[in-house]
A and B are shown apart, each in its own frame.
Chain A
Amino acid sequence: MDLDRFNRLLLESAGVGLALADPESLSIAFANPRFREWFPGHEAATPRLDELLTGLDVERMRSRLADGRPYRTELELKLNRRAMTIAVDVKHHEGDGTDLLVVECQNVTKLKELEYMVESYSKMVERQNRDLRKEKERVEKLLLNIMPRTIYEEWKEFGVTAPQRFDRAAILMLDFVSSTDMDIAADPPALVAELNDIFTSFDRIVEQFGGERLKTIGDAYMAVCGVPEPGADDPRNIARIALRMIRYLQRRNATQANQWICRIGINAGPVVGSIIGVQKYVYDIFGPGVGLAARMEALADPMGIMMAEDLYELIRDDVTVHDRGEVEVKGFGTKRIYSLEGMSDLAISSHDDW
């Protein structure tokens, strides 16, 4: 096979569209079969590049070529109903007695399709990521309702949390004396709304003094200071929280029909804190510190706060109390107990005005 024939065969069967055109008139001197297939209309006597390649920016092409640079563009066309994207590359060829534009066209439809698909898919994934992030935040918020943040961080990182011993956690237990007497049957939603209201206010008070609401059981409320991070002021803070809860209820009762009468027990003592449960987990504390707080609550007057000597010894310089003498506390032996009446910044008079 001689070289001429080989070259012609190559030109005719190539997947690339090739054409030669006059730089001035843009009339096409030669076009291979592929070029003719993609850009039909060669029947005209002198087909012109700018006529066949609709969408060609002639002005820009000329200015690029005048700078001695190639001109590249992408053209959309439709062939046998198929949308195609053709990359067109025009170069100015001068010398050897020739002065021609060499036009090279490649079918980049597949690339384009792939590009659109990647675009589409990445948008989908981005949206999914956004949704997942939102969901994660929602779950995090829920989990933070049932466990302290530091415990949550540990649990998130390691998948487990080790039970921790706290030697002097400050615990508060509150229960309502009379809510069970209220006419629940009459208007349960209203009762729940009121309780919700009260607990939300308690939460704010607890938060204000660096404590955590651990849980509520029915109308009982339990909060703690110093878990999981102990602080020197925990015993005083639990007393401040208790006093403010009483004052909040006193003020509320003064203006509302339903009277909410509580008892509060506070204590400082050893507890163990841990996430309990596998499927239905909750962060909880238990131990003698909790047990004694519960006993104190049972011994408290209505709208009163009771503590045993354990806590009193820690805060005696800052509180006003009534010494209630020694009593036998089940499980704890003989304990001197005190009802908390006030602190330097807040006093309650628990007996007089309920």
Chain B
Amino acid sequence: MARSVLERYGGFPFLSRVVLGFYDKVLDSDVLAPYFEDVDMRRLVDHQTKFMAFLMGGPASYTNEHLAQVHARLGIDRPSFDVMIETMRDTLEEFDMEDGDVAAVLHELRVRAPWIIAAPGTPAASAAG
């Protein structure tokens, strides 16, 4: 069986650096931070750990319904989602992830946009625009 992205980069030690790096960036971002102002830190770290592990093929799984449920209250819009993608890219590149793997992780994230963005309307249309 092919090894997952997470396994190839060293498992938990790598994941922990990426999650904390990403967490810092998100909370420093004027666009993203407001979404999490009222979210408990423990819950946020918990979710980011699981979700990041999930994106890298680690020991977590999310159904689309579960994702929608987790993000429903946040009301994330498409521009914010795009900022989130770029923030993720920055983080992964900072930790020397190879381009191909970065693209793979971001792809995993992008295909879940319809369940992360609140009331996605026409995600295909806005993606094209």
**A residues lining the B interface (CB < 8 Å):** 76, 81-83, 85, 110, 112-114, 116-121, 124-125, 127-128
Q: Are A117 and B34 in contact (CB under 8 A)?
A: no
Q: Is the CB of B20 within 8 A of A124?
A: no
Which residue of B12, B20, B40, B60 is within 8 Å of A113 (Cβ)?
B20
Q: Could you tell me if B41 and A124 are in contact, using CB atoms closer than 8 angstroms?
A: no
Q: B27 to nearest A CB, angstroms?
A: 5
Stretch of B42-50, B72-80, B95-103, B119-127 lying at the A interface: B42-50
A110 contacts which chain B residues (CB < 8 A)? 20
Chain B: residues with Cβ within 8 Å of the partner, total of 21
A81 and B23 CA atoms in complex are apart in Å by 13
Given A121-B53, A124-B53 in contact, is the A114-B16 Cβ separation under 8 Å? yes
Interchain residue pairs with CB less than 8 A apart (29): A81-B27, A81-B33, A81-B37, A82-B27, A83-B40, A83-B41, A112-B41, A113-B20, A113-B23, A113-B45, A114-B20, A116-B41, A116-B45, A116-B46, A117-B16, A117-B19, A117-B20, A118-B16, A120-B45, A120-B46, A120-B49, A121-B16, A121-B53, A124-B49, A124-B50, A124-B53, A124-B58, A125-B59, A127-B59
Residue of chain A at shortest CB distance from B23:
A113
Distance in Å: Cβ of A109 to nearest Cβ of chain B:
8
| A119 cross-chain contacts in B, Cβ below 8 A | 46
Tell me, yes or no, whether B116 is within 8 Å of chain A by CB.
no
Alpha-carbon separation in the docked complex, A119 to B59 (Å): 14
Main secondary structure of the interface of B (DSSP, over half): helix
B4-27 residues with Cβ-Cβ distance < 8 A to A are: 12, 15-16, 19-20, 23, 27
Q: Chain B residue with minimal CB distance to A110?
A: B20
**A124→B12 CA distance, assembly (Å):** 11
Report chain B residues within 8 Å CB of A120.
45-46, 49-50
Give the chain B neighbours of A127 by CB distance below 8 A. Answer: 59
Report whether A113 and B41 are in contact in the complex, using a CB–CB cutoff of 8 Å. yes
What is the minimal beta-carbon distance from B49 to any residue of chain A, in angstroms?
A: 4
* A125, B40: Cα distance in complex, Å: 23
Q: Mark B49-71, 1 if CB is under 8 A from A, else 0.
A: 11001000011100000000000
Q: How far is the CB of A79 from chain B (nearest CB, A)?
A: 11
In the assembly, what is the distance between CA of A83 and CA of B41, in Å? 7
Q: How far is the CA of A116 from the CA of B34 in the complex (A)?
A: 21
- With a CB–CB cut-off of 8 A, which chain A residues contact B33? 81-82
Q: Are A121 and B15 in contact (CB under 8 A)?
A: yes
Q: Select which of A113, A114, A118, A124 is within 8 A of B59 by beta carbon.
A: A124
Distance in angstroms between the alpha carbons of A113 and B42 in the assembled complex: 7
Docked complex Cα distance between A125 and B53 (Å): 11
Q: Which residues of A contact B59 (CB under 8 A)?
A: 124-125, 127-128
Cα(A83)–Cα(B38), bound, Å: 10
Contacts of B40 in A (CB 8 A): 83
The CB with the most chain B CB atoms within 10 A, among A82, A113, A128, is that of A113
B39 to chain A, nearest CB (A): 9
Chain B, Cβ-Cβ closest to A109: B41
B60 / chain A contacts, CB cutoff of 8 Å: 124
Q: Does the CB pair B34–A81 fall under 8 Å?
A: yes
CB distance from B40 to the nearest CB of A (A): 8
Within the complex, the shortest CB–CB distance from B50 to chain A, in Å, comes to 6
Complex Cα spacing A174 to B45, Å: 63
B49 neighbours in A (Cβ, 8 Å): 116-117, 120-121, 124
Question: Which residues of A have CB within 8 Å of B12?
Answer: 121
**CB closest residue in chain A, given B43:** A116
B11 → chain A closest CB, angstroms: 9
- Sample of 5 more A-B contacts, CB < 8 Å, known A117-B45, A124-B50: A116-B49, A117-B20, A118-B16, A121-B15, A124-B49
